[in-house]
Structure 1
Amino acid sequence: MASERILQFAKSEQLKQRAHQIIPGGCHTYAKGDDQYPVLAPGFIARGAGCHVFDVDGNEFIEYGMGNRAVTLGHAFPSVVNAVRAELEHGCNFTRPAAIEVACAEQFLELIPGAEMVKFCKDGSDATSGAVKLARAYTGRDLIAICGDHPFFSSDDWFIGTTAVNAGIPEAIKQLTVTFRWNDLESARALFAAHPGRIAAFILEAARTEDPEPGYLNKLKQLCHDNGALLILDEMITGFRWHNGGAQAYYDVEPDLACFGKALANGFSVSALAGKREFMRLGGLEHTDRPRVFLLSTTHGAETHALAGAMATMRVYRDEPVIAHLVRQGERLKRGAEEAIAQRALSAHVKIVGKPMCLAYATLDQNGQPSQAFRSLFLQETIRRGVLMPSLVVSYSHSDSDIDRTIEAIDGALRIYARALEDGVESHLVGRPSEIVYRRFNRPTPPGDRS
């Protein structure tokens, strides 16, 4: 069994105090914030190597989640780092385009056969918002239908206006987004019936924790086209995890537009809006039949070193069995974790969910209800055993021994979980529980709470 460690987070605590004074939320990504983790957690990471990270206090952890699923190969993966380093020798941003922009686009389109044009940017929100803008321009319609079962599409108003954290977003903007249910064609038909001639596009992830029903995605695409709308696939997570060609290749569907990011450059900031020429050309210079679309024009959108990182990453996917490794290690991890859960008689309270290459877990309380307090306890106890696992997302760098050590840590954490079910989670959790990101108000911080 993985031994429980006494961890010190003194440097993290000092940085935390400074960070919250000068950075809203204490960091630049809400999913990485203090409110998402227990009090006994590393606050700041100093470096990573493969699937291991080291915090500013020198503590080492096997990591899962891997930069919110952006690091698929492993931290500081040598061939990617070498490509980035070599490109930086020549500068990274110029007054005119660099040749690598063409080379990277060609390499990307070879992997995504359904796409005919691509434009690179820096984050997923830019890509999805660009897709929404193209759909509205092409159709002349304003409404966007988003999948209400999928948690995040963009930091921009058209999506965040649908969440509980919608302060500062005009009501008029909120009214331009409607929601449908994943894997439910009738909910899509109902939207078209309720808003005839007004919906520009449906946007969704192809899948999250389970596969769609056979034919669902193509039927949804046909339904969109029959009603004059476009189909947009958000491939931020599924791209370069489900298949080298994305979920669209895995499920045999060609969307009108698709958005990629995260794993595209193994953690370097590159995202992509790709799609059929018929739609993408509206952001170009040659067409004269329609108004121009000001599409994804950013100073840093094609930094050469990031594109070099993307090309190196795509080469690894092309030449090595990355997806097969993710599936194998995910299956190994899921099998071992579920065996430990069953042995602790906790199958009604801890569940492993998702596809092998993109696993997560659910933590339930005594009544079988989702519990942030029990999630925090589970995180706390795995952290004490040397594993940092906001999810169970594996990388190409996770070895058999890493998986085995993780299963041992999970088993040790489950022992505490079982006790907490009997005598109360507050008896075992240090400090406050974590929170959900989408909440309208913050809770007052209790006196003496270190976070």
Structure 2
Amino acid sequence: MGADTEEFDLPLSRAANERLHALIPGGAHTYAKGDDQYPEHLAPVISHGRGAHVWDIDGNRYLEYGSGLRSVSLGHAHPRVTEAVRRELDRGSNFARPSIVEVDAAERFLATVPTAEMVKFAKNGSDVTTAAVRLARAVTGRPRVALCGDHPFFSTDDWFIGTTPMSAGIPAATTELTVAFPYGDLAATEELLTRYQDEVACLILEPAGHAEPPPGYLEGLRALADRHGCVLIFDEMITGFRWSEAGAQGLYGVVPDLSTFGKALGNGFAVSALAGRRELMERGGLRDPRERVFLLSTTHGAETHSLAAAMAVQTTYAEEGITDRLHVLGERLAAGVRDVAASMGVGEHVVVRGRPSNLVFATLDEHGRPSQEYRTLFLRRLLAGGVLAPSFVVSSALTAADVDRTVDVVGQACAVYRKALDAGDPGPWQGGRPVKPVFRRLA
């Protein structure tokens, strides 16, 4: 790979992206993977991956971060996971009745997340967060959903997407039933619950984000939910496993009524989970005398090889201390990036944030404002150096040498960043249109 960005080209990926756009709306099955998220003509199309590396169809190898939207926390093709899946493939994957694998997987999950009493599996995060919301509305008899407005994503379903700039096709009446509260502000949340007294079915939030919860915040939220009679839902898609094997609820010791898991649970295989108190979960079962709730009923939710992958992931985390390893790797990366950014004079412009196991970076302009133009410049230099990093979220497959190599490449990117700041214009180093925010009204 050439060290000069201008020499770095991806002709085969460029052609494949045209084919993708011709056949698939957006050119990808996840908006966050779209080529609009990458510098113009520098959106690699992947051939394969192993461990912390992926290869594009042009033959380039990259160190990869944020793999699978944070789902591949053990690295690609992890042997314990692939072997567990391989064992199930020859045994069939979907039957007319539950497989014994389903109860094994449920027992394993509830042993890993002992704050929950029952669990139901599905294929993606949106299904289980929406099931949690539906269940909360059913048990409370209330229509409104209160979500944390500081967290970027909860579901592809109308109750959430209607609150984003991409709300086309969603009736206003649906969106009006969703209200927002700010993270970390108990007084504002109580004011919201008082304003909509006896109307709010649930509070749903990621229990932690790029900063630690303020002292007493989650405990206070638990008390607020109890006092106002609403269901507390933790979205643990990201915090699950990366914060602790039992999620943020296991780390901080605050038990929600319902919680949702996914991403790291399958190490790239499609599996998610809705877990929670038996009293609530049984409303979607066959042993409760009250009106039934259509909780989750999916053709592929109990696909055996994905459940086998989830069990292997949980075993690997427990036996190999994966969460601790993610934190050690992330701490090394964050320290290295901060040091090299400071040494290049851009320490206030290339900023690393978040828990070490879940790092993101911000690219700020000369006035300290978030800049898509500077992000474009930064990503171009990373790609040219063999680093594919929409974020700095680590996997346990990385080595210390991989992290150090990443820091070296970041240093090269920071040198160019400094030139752009001095010139007061990142344009000459962008190489085309800037990368775009995922949520926007027009393409």
Q: TM-score, normalised by structure 1?
A: 0.96
Verify: 1:235 aligned to 2:236, yes or no.
Answer: yes
Q: Secondary structure at the match of 1:25?
A: helix
Quote the residue 1:194 is aligned against: 195
Quote the residue 2:413 is aligned against: 413
8 Å CA contact 2:258–2:275 kept in 1: the answer is yes
Verify: 1:41 aligned to 2:42, yes or no.
Answer: yes
Q: Secondary structure at the match of 1:203?
A: strand
Q: Secondary structure at the match of 2:359?
A: strand
Residues 191-270 of structure 1: matches in 2 within 5 Å?
Answer: 191-270=192-271
Q: Secondary structure at the match of 2:119?
A: strand
The amino acid of 1:96's aligned partner reads R
Distance between the aligned counterparts of 1:383 and 1:13, measured in 2?
14
Distance between the aligned counterparts of 1:371 and 1:8, measured in 2?
24
Quote the residue 1:392 is aligned against: 392
8 Å CA contact 1:221–1:230 kept in 2: the answer is no
8 Å CA contact 2:35–2:43 kept in 1: the answer is no
The amino acid of 1:130's aligned partner reads A
Q: Secondary structure at the match of 2:354?
A: strand
Q: Secondary structure at the match of 2:239?
A: coil
The amino acid of 1:259's aligned partner reads T
Distance between the aligned counterparts of 2:47 and 2:139, measured in 1?
46
Residues 97-136 of structure 1: matches in 2 within 5 Å?
Answer: 97-136=98-137
* Alpha-carbon offset, residue 40 of structure 1: 4.5
Q: Secondary structure at the match of 2:215?
A: coil
Quote the residue 2:281 is aligned against: 280
Quote the residue 2:311 is aligned against: 311
Distance between the aligned counterparts of 2:259 and 2:247, measured in 1?
10
Distance between the aligned counterparts of 2:261 and 2:4, measured in 1?
39
Quote the residue 1:153 is aligned against: 154
| Distance verdict in 2 for CA 1:4–1:80, change over 3 Å | farther
* Alpha-carbon offset, residue 41 of structure 1: 2.4
Task: List runs of 5+ in structure 2 lacking aligned partners.
Answer: none
Distance between the aligned counterparts of 2:219 and 2:275, measured in 1?
18
Quote the residue 1:334 is aligned against: 334
Quote the residue 1:438 is aligned against: 439
Quote the residue 2:380 is aligned against: 380
Q: How many residue pairs were aligned?
A: 440
Quote the residue 1:427 is aligned against: 428
Distance between the aligned counterparts of 1:25 and 1:324, measured in 2?
37
Q: Deviations over 1:250-279 (max 9, x none)?
A: 111110000000000101000000000011
Residues 7-22 of structure 1: matches in 2 within 5 Å?
Answer: 7-22=8-23
Distance between the aligned counterparts of 2:413 and 2:365, measured in 1?
15
Large movers: runs of 4+ above 3 Å: 2-8
8 Å CA contact 2:124–2:270 kept in 1: the answer is yes
The amino acid of 2:325's aligned partner reads H
The amino acid of 2:408's aligned partner reads E
Distance between the aligned counterparts of 1:7 and 1:292, measured in 2?
58
* Alpha-carbon offset, residue 422 of structure 1: 2.0
Quote the residue 2:300 is aligned against: 300
Distance between the aligned counterparts of 2:33 and 2:218, measured in 1?
32
8 Å CA contact 2:241–2:265 kept in 1: the answer is yes
Q: Secondary structure at the match of 1:240?
A: helix
Q: Deviations over 1:89-131 (max 9, x none)?
A: 1111111111100000000000101100000000000010000
8 Å CA contact 1:64–1:389 kept in 2: the answer is yes
8 Å CA contact 1:330–1:357 kept in 2: the answer is yes
Distance between the aligned counterparts of 1:366 and 1:337, measured in 2?
19
* Alpha-carbon offset, residue 192 of structure 1: 1.0
Which has the larger displacement, 345-354 or 45-54? 345-354
Distance between the aligned counterparts of 2:302 and 2:130, measured in 1?
18
Task: List runs of 5+ in structure 1 lacking aligned partners.
Answer: 443-451
Quote the residue 1:182 is aligned against: 183
8 Å CA contact 1:40–1:380 kept in 2: the answer is no
The amino acid of 2:275's aligned partner reads A
Identity %: 51
Q: Secondary structure at the match of 2:367?
A: coil
Quote the residue 1:70 is aligned against: 71
Which has the larger displacement, 12-21 or 79-88? 12-21
Q: TM-score, normalised by structure 2?
A: 0.98
Quote the residue 1:447 is aligned against: none
Q: Secondary structure at the match of 2:126?
A: helix
Verify: 1:354 aligned to 2:386, yes or no.
Answer: no
Q: Secondary structure at the match of 1:47?
A: strand
Quote the residue 1:142 is aligned against: 143
Distance between the aligned counterparts of 2:285 and 2:4, measured in 1?
58
Distance between the aligned counterparts of 1:8 and 1:35, measured in 2?
17
Q: Secondary structure at the match of 1:126?
A: helix
Distance between the aligned counterparts of 1:380 and 1:200, measured in 2?
45
Distance between the aligned counterparts of 2:185 and 2:382, measured in 1?
37
The amino acid of 1:348's aligned partner reads E
* Alpha-carbon offset, residue 402 of structure 1: 0.3
* Alpha-carbon offset, residue 294 of structure 1: 0.8
The amino acid of 1:330's aligned partner reads G
Distance between the aligned counterparts of 2:63 and 2:375, measured in 1?
18
